[in-house]
Chains A and B, each alone.
Chain A
Amino acid sequence: MPKKQFRVVFKRERCKGCELCKAFCPKKLIEMDTQVNAKGYCPARMTDQTQCIGCQSCALVCPDGAIEIYEEE
Chain B
Amino acid sequence: MKPVFQYTKGMTEVSTSYCPGCTHGVAHRLIMETLDEMGLLGKTIGVAPIGCSVVAHQFMNVDMCESAHGRAPAVASGIRRVHPDKVVFTYQGDGDLASIGMGEIMHAAARGEKFSTFFINNCIYGMTGGQMAPTTLIGQRSTTCVDGRTREQAGMPLKMCEILSTLDGPAYIERVALCDPANIRKAKKAVRKAFETLLSGKGFTFVEFLSICPTNWGLTPPKAMEWLKENMMPYYPLGVYREPEVQ
Chain A residues near B (Cβ < 8 Å): 6-7, 13-14, 16-20, 22-24, 39, 41, 54-57, 59-65, 67-73
Contacts and interface: CB of A to CB of B under 8 A. Distances in A.
17 contacts: A13-B15, A16-B19, A17-B20, A19-B21, A19-B222, A20-B225, A60-B26, A61-B26, A61-B180, A63-B16, A63-B18, A63-B22, A65-B25, A67-B5, A71-B2, A72-B1, A73-B2
B170 interface: no
B145 interface: no
A54 B21 contact: no
Contacts of A73: 1-2
Nearest to A16: B20
A44 B214 CA distance: 18
Contacts, number: 82
A68 to B, nearest CB: 5
Given A20-B21, A20-B221, A20-B225, A60 B184 contact: yes
Nearest to B24: A63
A57 B19 CA distance: 20
B233 to A, nearest CB: 17
Contact of A16 (B21, B180, B222, B225): B21
Contacts of A69: 3-5
Q: What are the 10 tightest A-B residue pairs by CB atom distance, in nearest-first order?
A: A63-B25, A18-B21, A23-B222, A16-B20, A70-B1, A18-B20, A65-B7, A57-B181, A69-B5, A69-B4
